[in-house]
């Protein structure tokens, strides 16, 4: 019960503050974009760069931990595809988007701030690794399946080079992964971080957590129109929510306690907690890009976000 007051209540109190600020018109709902952009382009990259660039090399090259996350994500992705193929009779490439909904979590705006608040600054290292593995695997799956389907349908001549260019641009040319990779290069080459850059990132990085959580609450305050969406099937919605918020954390528990058994308890807890976060907003970006389920995905994201308040609280207390 002490954990409930130490971590869970303060975290969700920040989200509640953002929600109330929006509902009471203290801050405009339109400010959500500005706050999210601040986190995405400035404070979160600063946090990840500072944590990774000063981390011990052996932590960054923890291949057992990387393989653990690859197994969790790949298993869940394939399991989701099988369910929606044989039960709901969906086809490729739409199936790959269902896999993304059940595996791609909101690690950047919610997961990483949660971890750092719960376990301290050192949690940024496993969080960064997990986030990067998520991006490399899931974004690659999505781009390959949809682009191959497009090539087949339109009989385009775009080859492997085109696919590779899309994957590299989507994964490596975003500020979060770019800051992570820059930090890895500095750590692996044992390059000391210049003092002005160190101080700059040290000042900027603490803003990532509270700003992201506040922006999440503010964003929820303006999503009433999404709830009026009728372009979905209830059975699909329930299945997606169950897979993302219940089955994925249970799968992470299975791999951690029965297969890999990581030595670092905090890193193991990080995997479980990040598996319990809601579906990430990037899913909607790809839904719009490939004109697939663009009307349904915002509702799926919103429902998993709201319900994750309870599942994350349960996981935090359990951990």
Q: Are 183 and 51 within 8 A, CB to CB?
A: yes
Task: Look at residue 118 and tell me whether its pLDDT is greater than 60.
Answer: yes
Average pLDDT over every residue of 227-251: 86
Query: Which has the closest alpha carbon to 51: 174, 189, 187, 173?
Result: 187
The whole-number pLDDT of residue 123 equals: 85
Q: What are phi and psi of 196, to 5 degrees?
A: -60, -40
Peptide bond into 263 cis (omega under 30): no
- Kindly state the percentage of the chain with pLDDT values over 70: 91
Mean confidence (pLDDT) of the chain: 84
Residue 296 in this model has a pLDDT that exceeds 60: yes
* pTM of the shown model: 0.83
Measure the CA–CA gap between 89 and 286, rounded to whole angstroms. Answer: 21
Q: How many helices (H) and strands (E) does the chain have?
A: 19, 0
- Token digits of residue 308: 């994750």
Helix (H, G, I), strand (E, B) or coil at 250: helix
- How many Å apart are CA 252 and CA 237, to the nearest integer? 22
Give backbone dihedrals phi and psi of 291, rounded to 5 degrees, phi first: 50, 50
Write the pLDDT tens digit of every residue in 140-198: 888 888 877 777 766 655 666 766 777 777 777 778 888 888 888 898 888 888 899 98
Helix (H, G, I), strand (E, B) or coil at 215: helix
Residue 214 near residue 15 (C-beta atoms within 8 A)? yes
φ/ψ (deg, to 5) at 105: -90, 165
Q: What pLDDT sits at residue 32?
A: 84
pLDDT for 249: 94
Give burial (CB, 10 Å; 0-12/13-18/19+) of 75.
middle
Residue 33 has pLDDT above 90, yes or no: no
Task: For 51-80, write each residue's pLDDT tens digit.
Answer: 888 888 888 888 999 999 999 999 999 999
Spatial distance between the Cα atoms of 182 and 192, rounded to a whole number of angstroms: 13
Give the closest residue to 239 by CA, choosing from 318, 296, 178, 290: 296
Backbone φ and ψ for 278, nearest 5 degrees, come out as -70, 175
Contacts of 126 (CB under 8 A, 6+ apart): 65, 115, 264, 266, 267, 270, 271
Please compute the mean of the pLDDT values over residues 276-284 and round it to a whole number.
87
């Amino acid at each position: 019960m002490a954990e409930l007051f130490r971590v869970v209540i303060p975290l969700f109190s920040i989200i509640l503050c953002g929600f109330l600020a929006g509902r009471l018109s203290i801050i405009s709902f339109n400010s959500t974009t500005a706050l999210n952009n601040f986190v995405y382009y400035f404070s979160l990259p600063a946090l990840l760069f500072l944590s990774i660039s000063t981390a011990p090399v052996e932590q960054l090259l923890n291949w057992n931990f990387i393989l653990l996350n690859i197994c969790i994500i790949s298993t869940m992705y394939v399991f989701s595809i099988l369910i929606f193929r044989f039960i709901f009779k969906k086809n490729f490439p739409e199936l790959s988007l269902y896999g993304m909904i059940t595996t791609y979590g909101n690690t950047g705006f919610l997961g990483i701030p949660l971890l750092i608040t719960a376990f301290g600054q050192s949690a940024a290292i496993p969080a960064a690794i997990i986030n990067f593995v998520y991006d490399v695997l899931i974004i690659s799956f999505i781009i390959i399946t949809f682009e191959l389907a497009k090539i087949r349908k339109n009989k385009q001549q775009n080859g492997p080079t085109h696919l590779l260019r899309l994957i590299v641009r989507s994964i490596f040319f975003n500020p979060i992964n770019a800051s992570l990779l820059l930090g890895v290069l500095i750590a692996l080459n044992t390059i000391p971080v210049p003092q002005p850059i160190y101080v700059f990132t040290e000042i900027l990085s603490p803003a990532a957590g509270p700003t992201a959580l506040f922006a999440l609450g503010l964003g929820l305050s303006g999503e009433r129109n999404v709830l009026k969406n009728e372009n979905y099937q209830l059975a699909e919605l329930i299945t997606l929510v169950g897979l993302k918020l219940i089955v994925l954390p249970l799968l992470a528990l299975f791999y951690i306690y029965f297969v890999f058994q990581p030595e670092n308890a905090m890193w193991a807890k990080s995997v479980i907690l990040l598996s319990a976060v809601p579906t990430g907003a990037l899913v909607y970006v790809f839904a719009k890009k490939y004109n697939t389920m663009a009307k349904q995905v915002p509702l799926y994201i919103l429902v998993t976000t709201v319900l994750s308040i309870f599942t994350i609280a349960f996981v935090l207390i359990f951990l």
